Amino acid sequence: MFKGKNVLITGGTGFIGSEICRLFKEYNANVIFTYNKNEVKAQKLSEEIDCISIPVDLGDVNDIKSKIEKLYNEIDSIDVLVNNAAISQILPLSMLDEEDVDAVMDINLKGTLFVTKAVIRGMIRHRSGAVVNLGSIAGHRMLDVPVTYAMTKASISGMTVALASEFKKFKIRVNSVVPGLIDGGVATGVPDELREDFIKHCLTGRAGTAREVAEVVCFLASDKASYINGQNIMVDGGI
């Protein structure tokens, strides 16, 4: 499905990010992923699926720019960008300091925006490409989650719609995937009572898997989704 295509995934060492990398590789893509601090995990994943890993500090706009420029010097195109990287902080509003807010916004919003800016220039030259952003149900439903995480993930939806409109003339599609409760990863820290309440109100009666999220990401990035643009696709089991 992606033979000969170059796919860049941010936050590839994350729980969902690593599954996205694996699935794109299964679909014959040339996979490139970014990571920040977990070099050991990045090296392990690179060897596992035979792909390229790049250390990028998504909180540093200059680092983003230089690393993407270097990548474009090595390959002709980036056909698909998956903005997966994100962080969260478990702090209530009453305990937040400015630097706490800045840390989350720098990665989840500024990082996503400036990676997209750096990558999409190449897509414009080729007049083709697909961008898939990773949102969260935390930005769409009333859940007991940190406010900084919820507000940045809600912003991903607006960013997706705006970018889809801006780049339609270059035949670049921009969509987002909005996962619900996913087994593993950050969901391991969800209290049992909240998990049980989510599943109780979920139409499928269970949490999702990283593989299920990855399948939707790959579909939206593929030509099979050529008539889907500017959409925020919920992958939440029906909440």
Edge-to-edge strand ranges of the sheet holding 80-83: 52-55, 30-35, 6-9, 80-83, 129-134, 172-179, 232-235
Q: Please calculate the CA angle 110-167-217 and round it to the nearest 5 degrees.
A: 70
| Nearest one of 218, 235, 236 to 22, comparing CA atoms | 218
149 is catalytic: yes
Kindly state the tokens that stand for 102.
């800045």
What is the distance between the alpha carbons of residues 76 and 201, in angstroms, rounded to a whole number? 47
Other CB atoms within a 10 A radius of the CB of residue 43 amount to: 13
What is the distance between the alpha carbons of residues 205 and 100, in angstroms, rounded to a whole number? 35
Whole-angstrom Cα Rg for the chain: 17
* Catalytic pick among 35, 72, 149, 227: 149
Active site residues: 149
